[in-house]
Amino acid sequence: DNKIERHLYDVVVIGAGGAGLRAAIEARLAGKRTAIISKSLFGKAHTVMAEGGAAAAMGNANSRDNWMVHFRDTMRGGKFLNNFRMAELHAKEAPERIWELETYGALFDRTKDGKISQRNFGGHEYPRLAHVGDRTGLELIRTLQQKIVSLQQEDFAATGSYDSRIRVFQETTITELMLDGDRVAGAFGYYRETGEFLLFEAPAVVLATGGVGRSYKVTSNSWEYTGDGHALALRAGATLINMEFLQFHPTGMVWPPSVKGILVTESVRGDGGVLRNSDNKRFMFDYVPDVFRKQYAETEEEADRWYADPDNNRRPPELLPRDEVARAINSEVKAGRGSPAGGVFLDVSTRLPAEQIIRRLPSMHHQFKELADVDITKEPMEVGPTCHYVMGGVEVDPDTGAAFGRVQGLFAAGEVSGGMHGSNRLGGNSLSDLLVFGKRAGEHASAYVDTLQVRPRPAKVDVAAAVEVALAPLVRAAASSTGSSADSSTGSSADSSTGSSADSSAAPSADSSAGSSTASSAASSAGSLIAENPYTLQQDLQAVMGDLVGIIRREGELTDALKRLHELRARVANVGATGGRRYNPGWHLALDLRNMLVVSECTARAALEREESRGGHTREDFPAMNPTWRRINLVCSLSFGEVHLEHKPVPAMRAELLALFERSELSKYLTDEELAEVEEQ
């Protein structure tokens, strides 16, 4: 039946990765009743997959490092499009957030003198990534969870209930935010296992839902990254910025096909691994762009000396920011110098003794042995670009994480938020971002709750509409004729075996709080149309995004992509899922598709609009960076179901931050007009 379980909280955090957990801890510490909601199992998030480490200028490996150097590297990596205030806060606060994790019980790898060890990564001037072997994300999540458990134990001692002040709802998907006027009033969703509905009434919601990678076939992202938070924000009246900037990580596995896209950590290059083409050439020396020429070695000898003597040599070009390395690999493969499986070779076997490889890169050793039968201590890996991270995201106030747009009470942190990384994120800057801005979002969501005189309430009619939208795919499939496309999918037939007992619940039935006519109206609107299969739709969407909005973009293809996304919109509106509400992945995907679609549309629209190449956005027809475009953020909003795109000026950097850069460097990014202003200051 359509019974809805209701919960009352002060702060609801959607997402249980690093950003969500850190926000929830802060909200609970501020005395707020806090819910953490996670689409996947608790502990299973992208954060747990992070291998390389968390960037923080602690200066342990090189005492010259400090927040100003980190700020500079982050701005350079993002090609100066970053929200400078976020980059500043991030660089200043990351060390404190890392040390704080150790007070929660984390234990990072150590230097010989007992300090937190820091490793090299692309685009970071000094070794800066605090790490635990190549399993850093696991330690981060484990520790944040441990902190939550310890808070729950305190609450048990005080109230007799572990869940009284902070509660985790795992395998629970939020499909809609609830509003009261322009104020957040809560969130609506379902338990994935039972398909039963839940309504969270809360005046503040923190989005911490991570990325969008599942709109691409070759991706390092796992199934839950369907851009839900981005889409929830849009539908609630918030805005997204710079969605054209997607990071294609240069090194994903390319063989065997079943694992194509799985990440090969940048630590392999940080620890000495080199890239070679089929002629056995270290080709990255041919791809150092002018803006980075001063900082990177010109010969193999200098690059190799850098590992032992970084103060007197320049870095190897394999450690350029990710966008540069991904484009270089793409060019080598296109020029016919790729590996047999269509990537290039990444070799650490001739660079480090086997024992060191196994100690420093245990997960990579295991991953290649298990998945590809390759022993990375003896032979090179084959790697190629994979869709990895979205720089664009919810437009937020840099200090508080409050979403822009007309909605109040909505906050965002972590990968779902935009601005911090500009056009390209440096490796390691995400884990630190989660901690810095997760904490801030939790703190400011709590402060916002304190300002409210009256608690916003979700409207019955909105709850009814959310129920209708959620049930529609089931109703459509039930209404469409037997043997329809929805019935013939592998996914759907698998679903029906798990969902048979709940088939009856898909039929329209009365709902105590939501309109009882909703489901039947969805059925009649479906009429006799054959419902679309969600798996086919996802494949078609991935083909559009991968082929036409991928790593290298062109005007004609982007226009074509938008046309196809428009066609897909009509098909997604008719998606059906056979089976019932009990653990039905086809139904879950059917609901995720509308999120993937709207977010993909924002990406394609912005990619067509931005007529330059910068960071994670490469236009073959506009191959250079254009200083005029650096002054523009592309802001996406949704109005009556249509995506709108606006130009908005990038905030001008404060004078004392600008002064951290040499004029010769600024001249590579800023317009003449901006440079003249700098000189006047």
Binding footprint of ligand FAD on the chain (CB under 6 A): 14-20, 37-40, 45-47, 49-54, 136-137, 173-174, 208-210, 220-221, 224, 228, 263, 389, 414-416, 427-431, 434
- By beta-carbon proximity to ligand FAD, the closer residue of 589 and 625 is 589
Q: What is the rounded distance in angstroms from the CA atom of residue 274 to the CA atom of residue 254?
A: 17
Count of alpha carbons within 13 Å of 491, Cβ hemisphere only?
20
Provide the terminal-to-terminal Cα distance of the chain, rounded to the nearest Å: 67
Return the number of the residue (37 or 606) whose C-beta is nearest ligand FAD: 37
Distance CA 459, CA 409 (A): 16
Please identify, using beta-carbon distances, which residue of 37 and 602 lies nearer to ligand FAD: 37
203 and 409 in contact (C-beta within 8 Å)? yes
Sheet holding 183-191, edge to edge: 4-8, 197-201, 183-191, 172-180
DSSP secondary structure letters along 437-489: HHHHHHHHHHHHHHH-SS-----HHHHHHHHHHHHHHHHHHHHSPTT-TTTTS
User: In the complex, what is the shortest distance from the CB of residue 344 to ligand FAD, in angstroms, rounded to a whole number?
Assistant: 19
> Which residue out of 249, 327, 610, 619 is catalytically annotated?
249
Question: Which residue, 214 or 314, is less far from ligand FAD as judged by CB?
Answer: 214
What is the closest distance, in whole angstroms, from the C-beta atom of residue 252 to ligand FAD in the complex? 9
- Gap between the Cα atoms of 425 and 397, Å rounded: 19
> 184 or 561, CB closer to ligand FAD?
184
Rounded distance, CA 432 to CA 92, Å?
11
Closest contact distance (angstroms) between CB of 19 and ligand FAD is: 3
Q: Are 348 and 339 in contact (CB under 8 A)?
A: no
Reading the block at residue 6, the tokens are 């209701």
Residue 161, judged by CB atoms within 10 A of its CB (0-12, 13-18, 19+), counts as exposed
- Tokens read off for 440: 């801030």
For the chain, the residue count is 681
- Nearest residue (CB) to ligand FAD, 275 versus 426: 426
Question: How many Å apart are CA 283 and CA 398, to the nearest integer?
Answer: 39
Judge whether 566 counts as a catalytic residue. Answer: no
Q: Report the nearest approach of ligand FAD to the CB of residue 664 (Å).
A: 30
Task: Give whichever of 441 and 486 is closer to ligand FAD, judged by the CB atom.
Answer: 441
User: Distance between CA atoms of 313 and 300, rounded to whole angstroms?
Assistant: 11
Please, which residue, 45 or 297, has the CB nearer to ligand FAD?
Answer: 45
Question: Which residue has the closest beta carbon to ligand FAD?
Answer: 17
Nearer to ligand FAD, 17 or 237 (CB): 17
d(CA 317, CA 323): 12
In whole angstroms, the minimum distance from the beta carbon of 194 to ligand FAD comes to 16
Identify the active-site residue in 76, 90, 192, 269: 269
Residue 253 CB, shortest distance to ligand FAD, in Å, is: 11
d(CA 486, CA 587): 11
DSSP run (H or E) holding 52: none
Minimum separation from the CB atom of position 438 to ligand FAD (A):
7
Cβ of residue 136: shortest distance to ligand FAD, in angstroms?
6
The H or E element containing residue 308 is helix 300-308
Is 249 assigned a catalytic role? yes
CB of 62 to ligand FAD, least distance (A): 19
Nearer to ligand FAD, 43 or 515 (CB): 43
* Closest distance of CB 425 from ligand FAD, Å: 8
Q: Is 570 left (phi over 0), alpha (psi -120 to 50) or beta?
A: alpha
Count CA within 13 A, CB hemisphere, residue 630. 26
* Separation of alpha carbons 151 and 164, rounded Å: 10
Residue with token string 């590992």: 307
CA distance 253 to 259: 7
* Least gap, CB of 306 to ligand FAD (angstroms): 21
| Cα–Cα nearest to 200, from 191, 209, 210, 208 | 191
- Sign of the C-alpha dihedral, residues 210, 216, 218, 224? positive
Rounded Cα–Cα distance for residues 279 and 335 (Å): 12
Contacts of 468 (CB under 8 A, 6+ apart): 514, 515, 518, 519, 521, 522
> Nearer to ligand FAD by C-beta: 244 or 487?
244
Q: Which residues are known catalytic residues?
A: 249, 269
